């Protein structure tokens, strides 16, 4: 298929919610292949359709290590159906080249989605593993939410963004996450 251009932070369409996929057609399967080609070409772990300018509820993830064969997972119309635990992890994004900052995430998530054949599946990612992080990160893209909206320290994140000539954080987009905050506090106690 094709390696597509990854939109950079600041592009308006990254903030727009995506539409449901009504049928896993050839067009959707081609989109999935483009997402995979683009993700691998950029050494990414995940990529959501909005990042290549397509506002549909589709993302791909591959958490295989360098010495392992590719093991892509396709998520169409994903819904996170369960989440628990909390963690702070350093995160980056292909739409924010080389910029990383600490974010708040759930440790455990369960997601329901369709695969590239339109078959429904449920996947559970636990214990703060990379898959748990990636599911939340990519799923956020489908709602116009970016990883920096979960940042632990807005001012540190702004410094990182500035260093890479990226726009500063939009304070109105920062998420109020009382449930996550409480879980993080409980982890400390």
Instruction: Tell me how crowded residue 144 is: count the other CB atoms within 10 A of its CB.
Output: 17
Q: If 0-12 CB within 10 Å is exposed, 13-18 middle and 19+ buried, where does residue 40 land? A: middle
d(Cα 130, Cα 47) in Å, to the nearest integer? 14
Distances (CA, A) of 20 to 53, 143, 148, 186: 15, 11, 24, 36
> Where in the sequence numbering do the catalytic residues fall?
138
Could you give the CA distance from residue 35 to residue 92 in angstroms, rounded to a whole number? 17
């Amino acid at each position: 298929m094709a390696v597509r251009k990854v939109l950079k932070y600041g592009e308006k369409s990254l903030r727009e919610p995506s539409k449901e996929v009504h049928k896993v057609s050839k067009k959707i399967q081609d989109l999935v292949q483009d997402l995979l080609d683009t993700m691998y070409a950029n050494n990414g772990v995940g990529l959501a359709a909005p990042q290549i300018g397509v506002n549909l509820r589709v993302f791909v993830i591959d958490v295989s290590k360098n010495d392992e064969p590719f093991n892509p997972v396709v998520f169409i119309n994903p819904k996170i159906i369960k989440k628990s635990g909390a963690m702070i992890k350093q995160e980056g994004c292909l739409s924010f080249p080389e910029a990383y900052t600490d974010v708040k995430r759930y440790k455990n998530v369960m997601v329901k989605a369709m695969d590239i054949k339109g078959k429904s599946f449920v996947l559970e990612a636990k214990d703060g593993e990379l898959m748990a992080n990636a599911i939340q990160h990519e799923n956020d893209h489908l709602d116009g939410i970016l990883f920096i909206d979960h940042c632990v320290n807005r001012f540190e994140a702004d410094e990182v963004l500035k260093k890479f000539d990226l726009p500063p954080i939009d304070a109105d987009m920062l998420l109020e996450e009382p449930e996550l905050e409480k879980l993080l506090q409980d982890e400390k106690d």
